[in-house]
Amino acid sequence: MEIYNMYRAQLSAQNTVILFEALHTVATHAHKINSDNDLRTKLQELGSMTQMQDPPLLRLENESYQLCLTILQNIFLDRAPDEGSLEVETHLVGLCKEVLEVYLSTARPAHLSGGIQPLGHWLIPVGSSKRRELAARAPLVVSTLQAISGLGDSSFEKNLGQFFPLLAGLISCEHGSGEVQVALSDMFSTWVGPIVLQSC
């Protein structure tokens, strides 16, 4: 990131998007590995046999997504009006949706495959390991909510339909810490509420 910050002014938006795509590949690969329970179990077993530490898969995933988000936000803020703004906005919206979907799938109890709770059944709270994972993912989700809010009036309003189901899911899911709820409350009071009231 330091090298990117040093040369940020010299990089065109197009070259920075290429950098984003490379980092996004790392992030999605880290997520794929991190969500593969069999592979994680094998890595833990191998670690105990070889006295190696457990690989920081979740940290790698979170840091990769955070770098992607930062780079896209920088392009979005630095761009000239004609300089591929639609492509950057599309990447930013897609990344934000992806991060929120990952968080929501982590927060969803394992027995709910479709995300719909059967009537007459109690929800079983997520376990302590899931709660720790949600707490580790929370800063990235907060940054994502701030990035969504930073889209600007027209972009935010245009993409609200894509984000609203995810935002509603964040309201009803369990969280590992309160910071996501605070950021979500801020987003609803600052951005979503006025748009809804304006349309009434």
Write the pLDDT tens digit of every residue in 97-133. Answer: 999 999 999 888 754 445 555 555 555 566 777 888 8
- Token representation of residue 134: 């949600």
- Asked if 156 contacts 90 with a C-beta cutoff of 8 angstroms, the reply is no
Predicted confidence at residue 113, as pLDDT, reads: 46
Write the pLDDT tens digit of every residue in 25-64. Answer: 999 999 998 888 888 778 777 766 766 666 688 899 999 9
Q: Is residue 115 part of a domain?
A: no
Predicted confidence at residue 93, as pLDDT, reads: 95
Q: Is residue 66 part of a domain?
A: yes
Percent of the chain with pLDDT over 90: 39
List CB contacts of 38: < 8 A, sequence separation 6 or more: none
Q: Which domain holds residue 190?
A: 2-110+127-199
- Asked if 137 contacts 101 with a C-beta cutoff of 8 angstroms, the reply is no
- Asked if 151 contacts 190 with a C-beta cutoff of 8 angstroms, the reply is no
Q: Is residue 159 part of a domain?
A: yes
- Asked if 162 contacts 148 with a C-beta cutoff of 8 angstroms, the reply is no
Cα 166 to the chain's mean position, in Å? 11
**196 versus 52: which is more confidently predicted?**
196
Q: Is residue 119 part of a domain?
A: no
Query: What is the number of structural domains in the chain?
Result: 1
Write the pLDDT tens digit of every residue in 64-100. Answer: 999 999 999 998 887 655 556 788 899 999 999 999 9
Q: Is residue 118 part of a domain?
A: no
Q: Is residue 135 part of a domain?
A: yes
